[in-house]
Amino acid sequence: MSRTPNTASTPINDRNAWRWGFTPQAEIWNGRLAMIGFVSAVLIELLTSQGVLHFWSLV
């Protein structure tokens, strides 16, 4: 009787899974969303010649 390893990707090992808490998957998504936010802020400043807070009339 031979055992074959399970090669199917489980949600725990899936690096793109949406998992809550202090997990590697959550940190990957946190980094991705932070990069999107940073690039969005830079683009707003370049296209409008205003800071993000001025663009949203918060200052």
Which helix (H) or strand (E) segment is 54 a member of? helix 52-55
Q: What is the pLDDT of residue 40?
A: 94
Of the chain, the end-to-end C-alpha distance in Å amounts to 71
pLDDT tens digit sequence for 2-46 = 676 655 555 567 877 878 888 888 899 999 999 999 999 999 999
Beta-carbon contacts of residue 20 (< 8 Å; ≥ 6 apart): 26
Instruction: Decide: pTM greater than 0.75.
Output: no
Please, are residues 15 and 24 in contact by the beta-carbon 8 Å criterion? yes
Please, are residues 40 and 34 in contact by the beta-carbon 8 Å criterion? no
Find the mean pLDDT for residues 47-52.
90
The pair of three-digit structure tokens given for residue 17, joined into one six-digit string: 């899974």
Q: What is the pLDDT of residue 44?
A: 92
